[in-house]
A = this chain, B = another copy of it.
Amino acid sequence: MGKRDGIGIGLLGFGVIGGAVARVLTQRAEVLAHEVGCPVRLRKVLEKDTSKATASRMDPGLFTTDAAEVLGDPQVDIVVEALGGENPAYDFIKDALGAGKYVVTCNKEVMAKHGPEFASLAGERAVDILYEASVGGGIPLIAPFKQALLANEISAIHAIINGTTNYILTRMASEGMDFSTALGEAQRLGYAEPDPTFDIEAIDPCYKLTILAMLAFHTLVRPEDVYHEGISRLSSRDFRYARELGYEIKLLAIAKEKDGSIEVRVHPVFLPEDLLLAKVDGVYNAVQVEGDLVGRVLFYGQGAGPAATCSAVFADIIDVGRRINLGVGLSHELKLDASKKLKSISEIETRYYLRMSTVDRPGVLAKISRILGDLGISISSVIQKESDVSADAAEIVLMTYPAVESAMREAMSEIERLDVVREISNFVRVED
């Protein structure tokens, strides 16, 4: 059934991911040829570091330090971008699509920032850009939105899509570690970078959620539209209260659509402990999708690592390769509907967990309750503990019923002004 005698791959970047992709392309060449319908060969590799070419034991003639030699090679049909980061990946992808080449990328940042532009450029040139590896490693997450779930109106995505923070939170929950100790452990084990900002401040999951939300809701989302809060404010006390109240604490990426409005946010949440998502521990990722027909489905697996990423890149190469071989171009065109409204964080409605340090005197809770009540916020449960008798200090923990965030913010600033309240130690949103 093949129309072609071969398909050529141009690889951008020969680091950990790129090197693994090159190896798998060689090792599994037979599977690839069978699935695509013709042989698929690596034609050119862009790598600035010439020592990597030597160390690879691959044909040195494949390597170049000049991107134009890959992007301009007529034997290259598919450009696999494994550089990461916004630049120069952005330019290279634009050039590749502009030259009528298909693109497969594992780059969340460039897809979150420029995905819609790439998609329309690809559409103009009747090619395509695939990015299964950009979210959740080898877990099939992008493909389901393009086919398996298309019958559904998606109402919500709840995702654990940052392994570093999930590892840290798991250690804090299971061993009562404080944040900095758990972070240190994660760094020692190579799960967190020396500079962990990108993960612990939830920038990485913002990019991934941007990509998933566009697919699920067919609306334009930019990374800066995603509200995000990291995990460094969480203390071991919060984990103890969470357990007592029947919750786990997770850094959740949340996207919801209701009545034509979209909300997209990444922050720590209290998640009921009996949900399967709450049981996803360690460096694993999981994405839960709710559709009106399918109900609640969940996809789980390793969210990172060169082998898992390769698995996804390979799948995308097969998809694109089949289409090139059959001469059919684009299969799923993402139409973005600009009419949907994006909610700001102050407009969301959710439940809250609030932990406060107060003086140890009667009537404190009444004052707090009054402020909340006046703003229409009801309390669903309270834990009050004498934390330090000698210091005249008590700790009050509240869970609220659903409230609008702006009202909750106002309540918190009024509560902080009460002379009986020393501080609001933490507040965490609750997902049910």
A357 to chain B: closest CB distance in Å? 35
Q: Is the CB of B297 within 8 A of A139?
A: yes
A324-335 CB contact bits vs B (8 Å, 1 = yes)? 001011111001
A14-42 CB contact bits vs B (8 Å, 1 = yes)? 00000000001000100100110000000
Q: In residues 262-321 of chain A, which contact B (Cβ within 8 Å)?
A: 276, 279-280, 284, 291-302, 305, 307-308, 310-312, 314-315, 318-319
Q: Is the CB of A297 within 8 A of B300?
A: yes
Q: Does A140 contact B (CB under 8 A)?
A: yes
A117-160 CB contact bits vs B (8 Å, 1 = yes)? 00000000000000010000111100110011111100000000
Interface of A is mostly: mixed
When distances are taken between beta carbons in the complex, the residues of chain B under 8 Å from A24 are 151, 293
Q: Is the CB of B144 within 8 A of A1?
A: no
When distances are taken between beta carbons in the complex, the residues of chain B under 8 Å from A351 are none
Q: Report the nearest B residue to A136, measured CB to CB.
A: B297
Q: Is the CB of B319 within 8 A of A293?
A: no
Contact of A297 among B138, B276, B293, B307 (CB under 8 A): B138
Q: Is the CB of A140 within 8 A of B140?
A: yes
A106 to chain B: closest CB distance in Å? 13
Q: Is the CB of A291 within 8 A of B315?
A: no
Q: Is the CB of A148 within 8 A of B335?
A: no
Q: A279-B279, A311-B293 are in contact. Are A147 and B318 (CB under 8 A)?
A: yes
A161 to chain B: closest CB distance in Å? 14
Q: Is the CB of B294 within 8 A of A34?
A: no
A145 to chain B: closest CB distance in Å? 10
* Beyond A24-B293, A140-B297, A149-B315, 10 extra complex contacts between A and B, CB < 8 Å: A1-B329, A138-B297, A140-B144, A143-B144, A148-B315, A150-B314, A276-B280, A293-B311, A298-B298, A298-B301
